[in-house]
Every structure is written in structure tokens, then in C-alpha cells.
Structure 1
Amino acid sequence: MSPADLGTGRSSLGRVLDFAWGAGVFTATDAMAAATLTRSTTIDAIDTLVAARMLRELPNARAAGEYRAGRPARRFELPADLGTVAGLDAGDTHLSLQVTNLAGEAILHSRFDLDPGHSIRRRQDAVLRHVETALAGGGHGPLLALCVGVAAPVDRDGHSPRHPDGFWERTNAGLVDLLADLADVVEVKNDAQLAATAEGAVGAAVDCRDYVALLAGERLGAGVVIDGHLLHGLHGGVGEMFAFDYVRGVDSAFGLGPILERRARALVASGETAPDGGLAGLDPRDVDARHVLGLAAAGDPDALQVVRTAGESLARIVGVLGSMYDPERIIVCGAIAEGIGPVLDAAREALGPHLHLPAPALVASSLGADIVTRGAVLRALESARQVALPRLAERRLRETEDARR
């Protein structure tokens, strides 16, 4: 069901309702121009939607202090509390849930750590319990749309293909069916594709038609937007990074965090660190990516050496993605983006031999560790607008008609 079709004979209602989404306070004149309807049809549609509690009538322009001359205009808005939407980042080691009203204003945000060794059943229990607990407070209207991001390819029906080690099936543990009863619309999407959605809407790719959002923390994943379209593929596998197992100098789909840690630990274990450097004397097991990046930013020579080798690996990754997709920008996303500047500098210096096309701009995301959650919320808002809100309107219109009989 589209916002312009609330059922036979109700297209005018759908057009007014679709205009009201994001319009803020509006008048019948505003709606008439945007929905390309006659004035009488527009007013009839508004009155019908007000009676069905889909629009709220506000004090008129005189009461609001905006009246100057003539008859005061009636004013309306789409109530933000008609319902809620939720975005869930169902990572391998955590769950991060955000619930917003229809204006995108946050109502709650919760986070829960997971054991990555959980069985499929225990993961299902944990996801369902976390979401139900977070939503139990209520009081904000029905949950209209829920979008879940997972670290796996996802087809258009929300299911993931089989993985040789069972990782995709465990990560996407039948979530679209498990959560189906919680909202009018429940979708499961690949996490990197949701990161690309967030970057295009509120991040480093606003107004950019060709870009790659590269989730690069623990594992690599890419959301690819070309000519303004988010690429998907039959199984949702566009941007799957398994191919880097076969690229020399990268050798795996592990992200920049593990790359930095592995190379720093090798340097520490070799005993070749500078005696007065920040890595000297550390137990290799205590080395982590954030510490290395912090040292590099402060000019530590050993950390800078590690960063240069990580930058060379990133240059190869950028070279492959640049050759395959020819993007304007490649955006390094996720928690690793904070402090990743020295690695990006090293990658830019090393990129030349790995790409014949003009090099894409290589930038760090500013959206932080919650980028997948933000992308999931944005997707849920769009699903609410396109599908769930018209369904809610249809239900309420029928209730209104039944009450009049």
C-alpha cells in the first residue's frame, strides 16, 4: 500500500497524509498546493483524517497570534505520537535499540552486551527479550515499524543465505519471523547497507550520489550507493567482503581494528619497539586499536609504523572498491572512525599504485558507533511513512465509518 492509495476512492486522503509527514504545522492551502487537489477535496480529506484521529487540528491563526487580516486559517499537524518506530543494531556482541516518534525524536535508547558464542536459540531469546523489555514502558503509541541491522547478507524477505561456518544463520537468527508480531512492518537489513543509509541522510554522503560506506571495525562490510541507488543483489550480498581473503596485503575480511592490533602485537612481540615508546614493555595481549591510534596521533614512532602498514592495507581495500564501483567517496564508519585519521593519511599516500581511476575521497564518518542503529531508525521511519501509516489510517477510517452506521 502506498501513501497515495488508502484503498479504493481514498487516494486524496493518502496524498494529504503523505504531505503531512514532515510538513509540521500546515493549512489547507499548503496541503492543496502540495497534493495537487482542489480546495474542497483537500478540506474534505483533512476533515476525514481529523475525524479518524490521523491529523490534529490546532488553534487557528488568530489564536496562535499569526492572524493579520481576513478569515483566520485553520491549522493542522500530523501528531508525532500517532506511533513509534524502532531501529535495532543486532551485532555479534551487542544489541543497540533506539525508539523514536514519527518526527524522529528519540524516546529511548538501550544497549545490551551479548555472548558471541550464543546458540541460535539463545540469541533469539536475547533479542526478543531485549526488544520487548525496552518497549514495555509504552505510552507513546503503537510500534509502527521496526528495522534490524545484522552483519550478514539479507535478501528482500529478511532472510540470510547459509554460511559455511553457520555465522550468517546465527547472526540473523530468523529475526524477521521472530519479531513479526511486534510492529506493522518488520524488516531485517544488512548493517553496512544501513550505515550507507545513515551517511546519505545525515552523514558524510549528504548530496553525494556515488559512495561506499565501509564498516571497518571488527570486520569489513560495505554499503554501496551508485547513481543514488543503494545496491542490494539477489541475496543482499553487494558489499560482502569475503573477497578480501584473496587480496594480497589484506588477506581477510577482518576490519581495521584487528589489523592494527595484529600488527602492533607482532611489533611488540618482536622486541623491536623503541625503548621509550608507548608500546615498549606491553604484553601483546594488552594492545588494542584505540591505544595504537592514540599513540599515533601523539607522534609515537612505533605506533606510526603500525599505522603506515594498516594504511597500506586500507589502500588496497580502497583500490579494489574504487575499481569495482568508481565512487566519489569512501567513508570509514563505525566506532573505529574516531581517531582513524592517521590510517586514512597513510592510505592516501599509498593508494597510487592500487587504482587507475581517479581516487575517491577517503573520509571518516562522524556518526560514531551507533551508525547502524541510526540507519535502522531512518529505514523504519520510511517504512512507517510508506506502509504502516496508511495501514493505520485505513484501520481508523473503518472504525470511524463503523461508528457512524
Structure 2
Amino acid sequence: MTEVSAGLGTGRASVGAILGFAWDAGEFTATDVMASTSLTRSTAIDAIDTLVGAEVLRELPNARVAGSYRSGRPARRFALSPDLGVVVGIDAGDTHIAVTVADPLDQTLVHHRVSADQTQSAAARRALIVESLGAALDEAGVARDRVLAVCVGVAAPVDRDGISPPHPDGFWERTNPGLAEALGAWAPVVEIKNDAQLAAVAEGALGAAIGCRDYVALLSSERYGGGVVVDGHVLHGAHGGVGEGVVFDHIVGVGSANGLPYSLQEAARAAVAERAVPADGALGRLVDEERIDPRLVLTLAASGDPDALLVAERVGAVVARIVGVLGSMYDPARVVVCGAVAESIEPVLAAARRILPEELHLPAPEILASTLGAEVVSVGAVATARRAARERTVPLLAEQRLRVTA
């Protein structure tokens, strides 16, 4: 029995089959249902009418009213109700909180983003996340009782109960400050996930890994982290730590789990300090800044600046070493580099592709830049919340409404 039909209880398999079909069907008829399920016409129609009565499905105007009727009796047409509720995806990053309110199918209603202070306490961070969630729902004009599912991405391992393990410096506890408990009353389903794992969900659903069953989403923002998909399944681990970036602190040629923006800054400063590039050149002048904008380095490299290309080559060697480790451990077909920096990272990836075959014995995976930009974790969080609504919340909602109308 599928999760949908299980949620509707024993003897409701036909209702569950209709509900499962309706998510992907858009507008449909009973004939469409029969063609995709094993249901007879009478069973299909009875189940459809049951779900219409529970206001989970709605009946659309028939073909005659819609203006497409030609001859014969127009078929009844149905679709999921537009009033089921909303889902919420939250990217709780180290320097920002982004809340996306969306419908259960494909429309984004509100995207609310605020800055976060990296030095704030766990309590202050928890309050900011809850406040941001409330503000986004208010902006969307949605009451709390309309939320079907919430998914939050955090830069920490997360177990299946939404809890992060202790960190030696308390970083994971601050990043995930009891969010499973703090948000538990906001929706029937609340899921706390590692941000790189959500990036992997996003790339598989809408990004560079569509149709690929073995890939790694290498989130490369503040720190490196890998969302690992093997045989079509996102790997998790006992504490949610699969792909945790701390391993890169211990790898010769990488030396740090700090992400690509930091790698580019450090490589640029080192190149000037070693006099490998002139201090009075375009790249050298950037090094005088307190913080080097990595996008400027990459723009220079893309324009052919030899000094910036040297930096891109050095950082490409680091990326090749990281991808080599991931390739040896998980044997992916693709590694997708994710995060805001991915939009302009091609000069680094070009260098990494040349170097990568030397880093592992297995066939080298493709190295691709994500097209989802800085919102990749938000995209994955919304996709995960939609799946939770589809598989868990809406079937339970249908069950509750059917009991009331029985």
C-alpha cells in the first residue's frame, strides 16, 4: 500500500490512488484515471466524488462551459483543490534567513529574506527564524492553520528527529537551535534538514542533476558540504552527517572546509604575497581590500586576465582534490557545484576538469555549475515540504474531512 492510501486507511485504496494520481495530472477525467490505475470506471467515479465531497478535489466547468465541447456528452473534469493550504521552505543560513511560502504544486507566493548576525546567540537565532516565518506568512496573507508542511535547511548534520549532534565549538547547536521543537506547532509536518542535502534535492528536481541517479551537490558557500545521492536516494547517515565538510580539514591539498569564496580570497592573497602576480595589477589591487569579492576575481578570469586565471587554476586544483575524494567515496556520475558563487565559477571548474582525472582511479565524474544560484537550499526546502504535504499531510487532511462527511 502506498503512503497516500495508507494515510486514508484500510479500504480506501481507490481514494488513495485517485489522490496520488491527481498531484501530477493537472486537470483530469475519470477516463484519465482509469488509463493510469487499475480502477474500474464506477470505482474511479465513486472515489473522485468522495474527494470532491471532502473538498480535496474540485470539479471544473465541463467542456461545453469551457468552450471546447464538440459533440456527445462532455466529460467531467477535475483537479486538486486550490484551497488545500501552503508549504514553507526555510533556508536558515549562517548569514541570512530566507523563507519561501508556496502552494503545494508549483507556485511561489512569497520569498522573504533577512540578514542574520553570525555572532547572535542560539536563542536570538531561533527567535529570528520564527519571526521571519510569521512575517512571510503575513506577507502572503496566509493563516498558520493553512500551513501543510515546513522544511528548514541548516548548515549542520541533522538526525531523523531534526536534532543536530553536539559540535566542539557549539556551531551546530547555534545553527540548529532546537528548531524541530520551536516550529513543531506551525504545521502537521516539520522537517529539519542539512542544507547540502536539500541542495541535492533541488538539483535533482529542477537543476543540473535531473534524471541522474548518482550525483553529489557540492554546496560551496560559507563552508563545503556535500549532498550525496546514490541509486536515486539521498544518503543521510545515523546523525545526518553524510557529506559533512569537516573531512576536508584533513585532506592534503584542501586543508579547510571553508567554501569557494574563501578559497578564492586566500589564493589571490597568496599569489600576491608570493609575487606570482604583480601587486599593482588588476588582481593585486583587489588584494588591498579588506574582503575580496570572489565574483570580481572570477570576472577577471573569465575576461582572460592572466593573474586571475592563475588564481582560478590554483583553486581549480583544490576543487579537483575535493571532487576526487567524493568520486572515490561515492562514485557519482556528476558533481554539481552549488551556491551563489556557482554563477561565475566556470574558470575554476575548467581548471578542475583538466586536473581531476589524476585524482582518482574511477572514471572522473562530470563537474557542473548549478543554475539555481543562491536560492538552491530554498528550492530544495520547498520541494521537500511539497513532498511531505503530498505524501503525509494532504492524505491525513482528506481522511479527516471524509470522517466529518461520513
TM-score w.r.t. length of structure 2: 0.95
Aligned: 1:232 with 2:233: no
How far does the alpha carbon of each residue in 1:96-137 deviate from its partner, in whole angstroms, 9 at most, with x for none? 111111222010101010001111100110000110111124
Aligned-partner residue type, residue 72 of structure 1:
P
Pick the aligned partner of 2:209 from 199, 202, 205: 205
Superposed displacement of residue 219, structure 1: 0.5
Q: How far 1:178 moved relative to its partner?
A: 0.6
Deviations 1:295-328 (A, max 9, x none): 1111222211111111111111111111111111
Q: Counterpart of 2:25 in 1: which secondary structure?
A: coil
What is the CA–CA distance in structure 2 between the aligned matches of 1:239 and 1:216, rounded to whole Å?
12
Q: 1:395 aligns with which of 373, 392, 400?
A: 400
1:249 corresponding residue in structure 2: 253
Do structure 1's residue 214 and structure 2's residue 218 form an aligned pair? yes
Structure 2 residue corresponding to 1:50, chosen from 49, 52, 73:
52
- Does the aligned pair in 2 maintain the 1:101–1:140 contact within 8 Å? no
SS of the residue corresponding to residue 242 of structure 1 reads helix
The separation in 2 between residues aligned to 1:243 and 1:47, in whole angstroms, is 55
Q: Which residue of 1 aligns with 2:5?
A: 4
Alpha carbons 1:277, 1:300 under 8 Å: kept: no
SS of alignment partner, residue 351 of structure 1: helix
Whole-angstrom CA distance in 2 between matches of 1:56 and 1:236:
40
Contact 1:104 1:381 in 2 (8 A): no
The one-letter code sitting in structure 2 at the alignment partner of 1:262 is: E
Asked if 1:377 corresponds to 2:382, the answer is: yes
Q: Does 1:102 align with 2:104?
A: yes
1:148-176 CA-partner distances (Å, limit 9, x unpaired): 00111111111111111111111111111
1:300 is matched with which residue? 305
Identify the match of residue 340 of structure 2 among 335, 349, 352: 335
Task: Please say which of residues 235-244 and 297-306 is displaced more in the overlay.
Answer: 297-306
User: Where does 1:64-143 land on structure 2 (aligned, <5 Å)?
Assistant: 64-137=66-139, 139=141, 142-143=146-147
Q: What whole-Å deviation, never above 9, does each CA across 1:2-30 have from its counterpart, x for those lacking one? A: 21130233222111111111211111111
Partner of 1:274: 278
Pairs aligned (count): 401
Q: Distance in 1 between matches of 2:93 and 2:240?
A: 17
Provide the C-alpha distance between the structure 1 equivalents of 2:332 and 2:392, rounded to a whole number of angstroms: 31
1:324 aligns with 2:329: yes
Could you list the structure 1 runs, at least 4 aligned residues long, displaced by more than 6 angstroms after superposition: none
Equivalent pair of 1:326/1:357 in contact (CA under 8 Å): yes
Do the aligned partners of residues 286 and 168 (structure 1) sit closer, same or farther apart at CA in structure 2, a change above 3 Å counting?
A: closer
Deviation at 1:91, TM superposition (A): 0.5
Q: Which residue of the other structure, out of 37, 40, 45, is the alignment partner of 2:39?
A: 37
Gap runs ≥5 in structure 1: none
The corresponding residue for 1:265 is: 269
Q: Percent identity at matched positions?
A: 59
Q: Conserved in 2, the CA contact under 8 Å of 1:268 and 1:281?
A: no
The secondary structure found in structure 2 opposite 1:358 is coil
Residue 285 in structure 1 maps to residue 290 in structure 2: yes
- The corresponding residue for 2:180 is 176
**In structure 2, what residue type is equivalent to 1:265?**
R
> 1:333, 1:364 within 8 Å by CA — same for their partners in 2?
yes
- Structure 1 residue 139: deviation in Å? 4.5
CA distance in 1, matches of 2:332, 2:386: 27
Question: Do the aligned partners of 2:272 and 2:278 also contact (CA within 8 Å) in 1?
Answer: no
> Following the alignment from structure 1 to structure 2, what is the Cα–Cα distance between the partners of residues 140 and 399?
24
Q: Identify unmatched segments of 5+ residues in structure 2.
A: none
For residues 25-81 of structure 1, the C-alpha deviation after alignment (integer angstroms, 9 at most, x for no partner) is 111111233232121121111111111111111111222223233221111110233
C-alpha distance after superposition, 1:194-220 (max 9, x if no partner): 111111111111111111110012200
Question: What per-residue deviation string (whole Å, max 9, x for no partner) do you get for residues 257-293 of structure 1?
Answer: 1011012123334565336621234414242211111
Q: Which amino acid aligns with 1:115?
A: D
Q: For residue 187 of structure 1, what is the amino acid of its counterpart? A: E
Task: Indicate the residue corresponding to 1:187 in structure 2.
Answer: 191
Aligned to 1:25: 27
Structure 1 counterpart of 2:373: 368
Decide whether the 8 Å contact of 1:265 with 1:285 is kept in 2.
Answer: no
| In structure 1, C-alpha distance between the alignment counterparts of 2:329 and 2:142, rounded to whole Å | 45
- Residue by residue over 1:333-382, the C-alpha shift from the partner in whole angstroms, topping out at 9 and shown as x without a partner, is 11010110110111122223211111111111111100000001011111
Verify the 8 A CA contact 2:197 2:228 in the aligned structure 1: yes
